[in-house]
Amino acid sequence: MSSILVIAEHRRGELRPVSLELVAAANELRAAGEQVVVGLIGKNAHAFVAAVSKEGVDEIATVTAPVEDFDPDVSEEAVRALIAQYSPSLVLIPHSVDSYGYVAVLAAKDQLGLATDVYKIAREEGGWVATRGGYGQKVAVELDFPGRSCVCLAVRSGSYKPNEAAASPTVTAVDVPALQARSTPLDYIEVSAGGDVDITTVPFIMSVGRGLGDEANLPRFKELAEQVGATLCCSRPIADSGWLPKSRQVGQSGKTASACKLYIAMGISGAIQHLAGMKHVETIIAVNTDPQASIFNVAKYGIVGDIFEVADALEQEFS
């Protein structure tokens, strides 16, 4: 039976949220009769079974590793064994520092199709097509994989919305003999993701774009965002100009507003690169002077008007 294999990722005893995003992607992409299998690799792999037992998962395959922490050699051999056992046409892994350590070697040795930093996946005429950014995220690049029976895609975090519904899939222990780590971790140092806020976790965002006009106008919108209880973010031109840190940029080359329920777009035209970071938002309110702006195509509510006049009204309402 054909399958899609998801490789879950965990760190310091916790399942990484992107693992459940990959499960959602697999369910969206599966064909009729196709199984979704989640692979768990680690010394205590079985400890994560409950966390990945979500609706749509048919089977969980655990591989007991000789080390608790991630090791590239162990992961390479374990994923190779899972591919051999389940014969998937598609393997989904997180686009992360861990996957960097083994997936390119695995793909080269085993002649797998491979693409990294993927944010969209489609099935066309029996083959897989992956979309990722190119030329500094200025264009979308579609990749196909002719002649590859198995394709491995490293998926960008935030690209798919996880399904939290619990289920009771089959659990299978897969024995992979001679798994051996060639390195020993001495310590784990938490590295800051950069910036003062993780915009992938906030529920309410006010975002500014080119309509801001000048950096001198930014403090006003910082105060307004604080006043209404929103996190201030921006489109790429604002971040590229250095007016706000890159960590607050929403879009294809920034971050995805994964947890956002309300998004107010101030003076943002709606370029496709920016819209990629808003695709999970439940309610979008757009303010733009151009009635033909693309942002209005995705907005639930739209105001054709000047962002400064709207700011005046909001300041008065919330004062």
pLDDT tens digits, one per residue of 41-80:
999 999 999 999 999 999 999 999 998 889 999 999 999 9
pLDDT of residue 136: 72
Counting residues of the chain whose pLDDT is more than 90, the rounded percentage is 75
Strands laid side by side in the 3-7 sheet: 139-144, 127-134, 113-124, 151-155, 90-94, 3-7, 35-42, 59-64, 170-173
Cα four-point dihedral sign 128, 71, 98, 24:
positive
SS3 100: helix
CA separation for the pair 105, 251 (Å, rounded): 30
Specify the pTM. 0.78
Integer CA distances (angstroms), 128 to 120, 123, 125, 152, 291, in order: 11, 5, 8, 10, 37
Confidence of residue 206 (pLDDT cuts 50, 70, 90): very high
First and final C-alpha spacing in the chain: 62
Q: Largest alpha-carbon pair distance within the chain?
A: 69
93-127 residue pLDDT tens: 999 999 999 999 999 999 999 999 999 999 998 79
How far apart, in Å, are the Cα atoms of 22 and each of 11, 31, 32?
16, 16, 18
In the chain the domains, ranked by start, together with CATH numbers, are 3-173 (3.40.50.620), 204-318 (3.40.50.1220)
Tokens 């080390």 label which residue?
Answer: 67
For residue 194, name the pLDDT band (cuts at 50, 70, 90): low
In the beta sheet, which residues pair with residue 144?
Answer: 129
How many Å separate Cα 247 from the centre of its chain?
15
What pLDDT is attached to residue 111? 96
Does 9 have pLDDT greater than 70?
Answer: yes
With H, G, I as helix, E, B as strand and everything else as coil, classify residue 133: strand
